[in-house]
Amino acid sequence: MMDETPELQAFRAETRAWLEANCPEEMRQPVQGDGDICWGGRKWRFQSEAQRLWLERMAARGWTVPQWPRAYGGGGLSKDEARILAQEMRRLKARPPLSSFGIWMLGPALLKYGNEAQKQAHLPKIARGEIRWCQGYSEPGAGSDLASLRTSALPDGDEYVVNGSKIWTSYADQADWIFCLVRTDPVAPKHLGISFLLFDMESPGVSTSPIKLISGYSPFCQTFFDDVRVPQENLVGTAGKGWDIAKYLLTHEREMIGDMGSLGRESMHQIAKRSIGTGRDGRLKDGVLRADIVRHEIDSYAFALTMERVKDEAKAGQGVGALSSMLKYAGTELNKQRRELLMSISGSDGLSWEGEGPEEGDLAREWLRSRANSIEGGTSEVQLNIIAKRVLGLPGA
């Protein structure tokens, strides 16, 4: 902060003042359950007036997507300004005004591969939280081997006709639109026949069936397409070149998931001190668990510092390739370990599943939910494969 230019200092001061004046008190409280996260969309019911106001005010400044161009509903901020905004939001403990797959995944892909009409049509609605997107990648027969997907989209006049099924489609039943990988060329080699298609989930022929997770949450669905007609102009990029877009989007998804490995809101040792207590020497009373906790915290710090270094290096035009795979692998494995340790720290408190309190059952459910971190967005094994091939240059099997 010391070497900040006068312009950035002024930006910081303005931002701080604006946030203090405009972030509702309720939106400065820690996120407890899923309902505290605003996902937006046609079906979204705001949990409170404050949640609605906070989204509106931030969206009006383009600060739900601070670095997107203003023309598409973004804030047009530079990296440095965006960093300052994030810091100032953290300072106020402000909640993110909007979270969505549109922001994390589709937006970056459209900015790079979309045509002008597609950008105009979709980006501002993502920025304002009007349309909620889901991701149609995985299929019953195509998980890690995503490129073997079979959902077909065959041209018919100026439309495509889509048939097939997706699975594990997170929030498909809540979403308004889907970005979907489809096979437009049934005879081309498997990576070459794939296209990237956008369509409305209310189109005739789309149906979803929720699937319940071990955590008791039911965030994903099997999604069926039965002669769904989609205008050809909804195809992003070139037909048959969808795989490149799919991969580009995955790097954004992986970085976002990997980010969860960063230090939590309350550090683990603080929670442990409360539940286990410290001896006269100030050390946690359970010596073996203390050792496990500190090993974990060392890794978490090292991971957070790696995120920082990666950003700094990218800014300086240096850095390693296949980064998103490294961050995804390390970050998700850490988050799983964190959840495992929190269960140990909490003992029988961690075992409760249902009850009166608002947080009752959270620990167990979050522990269970975290198991998916190393599966969704490409499994840990797949990330290791990518690192082995792309970074280390090891030969194929």
Ligand X SMILES: Cc1cc2nc3c(=O)[nH]c(=O)nc-3n(C[C@H](O)[C@H](O)[C@H](O)COP(=O)(O)OP(=O)(O)OC[C@H]3O[C@@H](n4cnc5c(N)ncnc54)[C@H](O)[C@@H]3O)c2cc1C
- The two beta strands, 235-236 and 220-231, are unpaired
Nearer CB in complex with ligand X: 144/318: 144
Any contact of residue 209 with ligand X (CB under 6 A)? no
Residue 291 binding target from other proteins, ligand X, none, CB below 5 to 8 Å by type: other proteins
Structure tokens that stand for 104 in this block: 């994390």
CA distance 238 to 254: 24
Closest CA to 160 of 186, 191, 199: 199
CA distance 290 to 308: 27
Residue 109 binding target from other proteins, ligand X, none, CB below 5 to 8 Å by type: none
Nearer CB in complex with ligand X: 212/315: 212
**Min dist. Cβ of residue 276 to other proteins (A):** 9
Any contact of residue 394 with other proteins (CB under 8 A)? yes
**Which residue's CB comes closest to ligand X?**
143
Any contact of residue 269 with other proteins (CB under 8 A)? yes
CA distance 375 to 383: 10
Q: Which of residues 313-352 bind other proteins (CB under 8 A)?
A: 313, 315-316, 318, 320, 326, 329-330
Any contact of residue 81 with other proteins (CB under 8 A)? no
Residue 296 binding target from other proteins, ligand X, none, CB below 5 to 8 Å by type: none
CA distance 347 to 84: 39
Any contact of residue 375 with ligand X (CB under 6 A)? yes
Any contact of residue 381 with ligand X (CB under 6 A)? yes
Residue 316 binding target from ligand X, other proteins, none, CB below 5 to 8 Å by type: other proteins
Instruction: Note whether 187 and 193 are within 8 A (CB).
Output: yes
CA distance 324 to 387: 10
Residue 343, Cβ neighbours under 10 Å: how many?
Answer: 17
Which region among 109-117, 293-301, 344-352, 378-386 touches ligand X (by CB under 6 A)?
378-386
Instruction: Note whether 169 and 208 are within 8 A (CB).
Output: yes
Instruction: Note whether 293 and 272 are within 8 A (CB).
Output: yes
Any contact of residue 84 with other proteins (CB under 8 A)? no
Q: Which of 301, 351, 353, 359 binds other proteins (CB under 8 A)?
A: 301
Q: Which of 60, 214, 294, 351 binds other proteins (CB under 8 A)?
A: 294
Known catalytic residues?
A: 253
- The secondary structure of residue 216, as a DSSP letter, is S
Any contact of residue 180 with ligand X (CB under 6 A)? no
- Indicate the residue type of 296: H
CA angle centred on 170, ends 180 and 210, rounded to 5°: 110
Any contact of residue 278 with other proteins (CB under 8 A)? yes
Any contact of residue 293 with other proteins (CB under 8 A)? yes
Sequence-separated contacts (24+) of 73-78 with Cβ below 8 Å: 73/123, 73/124, 73/125, 73/126, 73/127, 73/128, 74/123, 74/127
- What 3-state class would DSSP assign to 176? coil
The site for ligand X (CB under 6 A) is made up of 134-138, 143-144, 168-170, 220, 372, 375-379, 381-382, 385
Which residues contact other proteins (rule: CB under 8 A)? 267, 269, 272-273, 278, 282-284, 290-291, 293-295, 297-299, 301-303, 305-306, 308-309, 312-313, 315-316, 318, 320, 326, 329-330, 381, 383-385, 387-388, 391-397
